[in-house]
Amino acid sequence: MSKITIDNVEKALPYLDKINSFATKLEWVEPVYITAVKAHKVFNNDNTLTKNTYIDSMLLNSYNQFKTYSPIEHIHSRGENIETTAKHIAEVMLKNYIHLPDIDKKDLKDYMIYLFTEMMNNVIDHSQSSIGGYTMAQYYPTHKSIQFSIADKGIGFLENVKYKENVKDEVEAIEKALEKGFTANKTNQLYGSAYRNAGYGLYIMSEIIKQVGGKFIIISNNGLYRYNALNDKYEKKILDYSFNGVLVAFEFKEEKINFSMQEMINFLLAEDEEDFY
């Protein structure tokens, strides 16, 4: 395969150990695969490069402010690390929207910071990944879309969910984790930023992506769950190999955002009395 995207990344994941042997043949690689490569190499103490200019520039963290992608960021702790990283990635993406009205820029920034922060917090809260997580985003001018991805080498969804729910595999665990109000935490207390609440992060991410006509993928060990709003299609399957960790990516277009982040949260949590954002 010459192109690795959010739509076919699972076909390339079994060959992460051999990435250096075929990377030069790749014509197109998206963040969903770059973060997987980074996490895999760090976990295996592999400092070798792939000889693919784009991939290697990401692995070396050689950020160019004139490019449409953010550098790979290392997520290793709660609080300032995550807040700073989320804001930085959002600011890098916003550079591609210089002609956007200020009110729309604010809406876009709010969406990005919320979504980025939620996905990063999930790594710290649940993954038990010895290397933390690795994340990045990229803007695609042709489609005017943003793709965000994060990867860890932790225990996955099933290990987190099975203590609370009767689930038999990773796919069922992902489905359960996407349900409104579900949390793998022992308690549902508020934590982190004022608008965060355990049990709503993944649900809100998935619902926002549906509302704005985007797509997302969650791979947990050998389980895959994917959604594409273009055709309102869900794909769920057990893979014949394990990623040995979690890979999450989503993609959306700013032009599809018709509500402020506050309005979206209120809409998605309409039946709840407390304002979480």
Tell me the three-class secondary structure of the chain, residue by residue: CCEECCCCHHHCHHHHHHHHHHHHHCCEECHHHHHHHHHHHHHCCCCCCCCCHHHHHHHCCCCCCCCCECCCEEECCCCHHHHHHHHHHHHHHHHHHCCCCHHHHHHHHHHHHHHHHHHHHHHHHHHCCCCCEEEEEEEECCCCEEEEEEEECCCCHHHHHCCCCCCCCHHHHHHHHCCCCCCCCCCCCECCCCCCECCCHHHHHHHHHHHCCCEEEEEECCEEEEEECCCCEEEEEECCCCCCCEEEEEEEEHHHCCCCHHHHHHHHCCCCCCCCC
In tens, the pLDDT along 84-114 reads 999 999 999 999 999 999 999 999 999 999 9
pLDDT at residue 187, rounded to an integer:
41
Q: Does residue 78 carry a pLDDT above 90?
A: no
Query: Residue 199's pLDDT is what?
Result: 55
Write the pLDDT tens digit of every residue in 43-73.
999 999 999 999 999 999 877 777 899 999 9
Taking residues 137-158, what's their average pLDDT?
A: 96
Q: Please say if the pLDDT value at position 261 is more than 80.
A: yes
Mean pLDDT (whole number) for 153-168: 93
How is the chain split into domains, by residue range?
Answer: 74-133+142-268
pTM for this entry:
0.92
**164-194: per-residue pLDDT in tens?**
889 999 999 999 999 988 776 644 332 234 3
Least confident span in 77-86, 130-139, 206-215, 219-228: 77-86
Q: Which CATH superfamily is domain 74-133+142-268 in?
A: Histidine kinase-like ATPase, C-terminal domain (3.30.565.10)
